[in-house]
Structure 1
């Protein structure tokens, strides 16, 4: 989270000082009290998995509903990810923007929690479907275990949080429970969803490149864009049963932050024979953490260092996928030793989270 966005969130919390308190009992329904008890159980489960403790979800806010953002970009520009400055943002609803957004693709986003600001349990989080409630807590707390670009953090967070949520749900509710089945179905669909987003991202990128080179008029570009988005929406509807409400450049760039490297992160999890603790160790010690970047090119270089590290760990000397996971786990341990050596024992991984990139998007979610 950058300093500007962090300040905005802190201001939001300071102007409602009475709403932040340890979990109350008398003012909550029995279902809400049950959800707060689940938070404590999830936190204990995280500790068993090796998570370092965070300050998230330790208080309840009866006034904070959601964290609201809007993202916008020109209609013929497709940003790389949330870390790309061409995907601009504001806090609040799009209607509060101090300028006309008609010439932009706009994505309005309301989220129940964000990492890095001691996020409370909000009213919207308490009301969330149980599967999402569990997933969000694991997801946000994972963000404070590593310090990478969002394009690395988000897909690792998805893999870790879904895998952890499934294990927690299995132990708590059983494999035949609705919450376990929902989480499992969502997790399995993510691979197909990532393929859809990557394919249409590439097609739209080519379209806008042709527009910038003068090969296409703006009118023809927007017409072809509309056709591509229609086809993309149809594929997503086939997968999920409904189309995204805001399918445009801003939304696609947002989603690519999660999906660009998701298949690789899932492959790592698969290569460990779905061993969550080993996967966590591998992800926790990916290289280039805390490295600052000032351009999209530098961002891509950092992401490439991480993906190359994981790809090389997944590939044997003969270039054949190594399902024994010995190579990937050994590399993770070696990386851990190197990082500890460089820190000279003076910083814990949690302390390193204070050293954030100066070129990072408003929130980690």
Structure 2
């Protein structure tokens, strides 16, 4: 019998999680707060009318493309994609070639680097995990690690998994560094709606910076797969030729995204209030457990990074202990091989009862984790 590949094992892992209708999802930064009625009504209306029988425009509905630009407060064009990850994959396919370098932080969101590796590029991960850098990339470190081979500088801001963010001055310096070597600054704005005064890099430079956005985290459409790549007119025209969304992103998802942008100011007040309250609750719970610490406070995203090094147990043991109780959280090694042994990540855009369940279980799970000697593969 053929041994299953890691891909098959990974798929079964998530299929098992998804099959648990009572699972508390606190590991993927997805939004599980009940949706705004206007969003569900828009998607149900689209299904009722049978709109899914037709392909959407290849770049996205014009109304949605305009609404995305207006929401970011930038000029240029938007290419609507099946999730933010597809936007990043399209950009990498367009701009990265064998022999190039792709520069990012460590930790970061790992998939764009994988796409760059597949293209034959060298991925350079600059360590930011520590108080000495404020858990952030600095212009000095970036400048010392780019040259004419650099195609893309990838910055997820706020950082996933840390929750740190960058101000306009820092972004301007990053853009100047990118320009100096002929690279693009890729500003992944997935979590921007949780960071007060967040500035999309394209507001500073609409030519030498490009933004990606997602509707998974703030609007809760993770399973609908909807996002966008936003750049200059010339860049989007170039990227369109490499897009796998040649028949358009999902029609129903686009209707939900448009409705979400229309109610966003009202909706985000609710989401931010719940997120803040859940983070405060978890902060207090972590403070009561010996060996745990919040590495970043406040978090400018919808998750918390919890240090585990002093606890005497591995992140994997903690994740498995919670999984056995129907709570999904994430181990640090998902994000970084170099620093992953020192933290877990917990998502906070969830119902209050979910956050309370995590807090109530935390002391018991730390004890249970110490006794776990056979932790299965985690993803």
Q: Normalising by the residue count of structure 1, what TM-score does the alignment of the two structures yield?
A: 0.30
The structure that is helix-richer by fraction is 1
Q: Normalising by the residue count of structure 2, what TM-score does the alignment of the two structures yield?
A: 0.29
